Amino acid sequence: MVNVAIAGGTEGVGRTIFEVLSGSPEHKTFVLSRKSSSQDHLLAVDYSDIAQLVSILEANDIDTMFCAFGVNDSSLSSSQLNLIEAVTKSKSTNRFIPSGFAISYSKENVELLPQLKDHFKAIEILRESGLQWTVFVNGIFLDYFGPPEMVSYLKPNVFVVDLANGNSW
């Protein structure tokens, strides 16, 4: 059994990853959370405390770390980078998947999307880390084009087709 942790696993794509992996007999799945909880799978963490993160990863024998933070606050600029540092220091953790779950961006896109600066910084650190890592380049989630009744944890986002209101542009 492989122990997996998901940062950002209480909502959005992270919650979907948690639900899928927790249904697998091959994985024991945890969610890192900024809030304390009595639920066994939730591990309360302080993303600014690297030593605490390392301790939690090792105490739960986490092999693989998913980072599914949304693009907000300091989640990519500090929390994800601290998590990468903790995973690198952890004796039990071997793999890291950074937040991304989107399209393949080039560095020229930083002008249009300044938060990509943090994405590329994380990739540079991972390249030098010695960890096994990958970035999921899945394009636009089909959740955005599915019927409104479809279960999805992603926040609504209208690109070209607004199925809930029967509009398109």
For residue range 22-47, list pLDDT tens digits in order: 999 999 999 999 888 888 899 999 99
Q: What is the reported pLDDT for 150? A: 65
Instruction: Give the model's pLDDT for residue 138.
Output: 59
| Per-residue pLDDT tens digits for 51-99 | 999 999 999 999 999 998 876 666 667 899 999 999 999 999 999 999 8
pLDDT tens track for 113-165: 777 788 889 999 999 999 999 887 755 655 556 666 667 666 666 555 666 67
pLDDT of residue 107: 72
Confidence of residue 13 (pLDDT cuts 50, 70, 90): confident
Confidence (pLDDT) at 127: 95
Q: Region 96-112: what's the mean pLDDT?
A: 76
66 conformational bin, left if phi > 0, alpha if psi -120 to 50, beta if neither: beta
Q: How many angstroms from the chain centroid is the CA of residue 109? A: 21
Site of tokens 């020229």: 108
Q: Is CATH 3.40.50.720 correct for 2-138?
A: yes
Instruction: Read off the tokens for 61.
Output: 């024998």
SS3 of the chain = CEEEEEECCCCHHHHHHHHHHHCCCCEEEEEEECCCCCCCCEEECCCCCHHHHHHHHHHCCCCEEEECCCCCCCHHHHHHHHHHHHHHHCCCCCEEECCCCCCCCCHHHHHCCCCHHHHHHHHHHHHHHCCEECCCCCCCCHHHHCCCCCCCCCCCCCCCEECCCCEEC
Structure pTM?
0.79
The predicted pLDDT at position 136 comes to 78
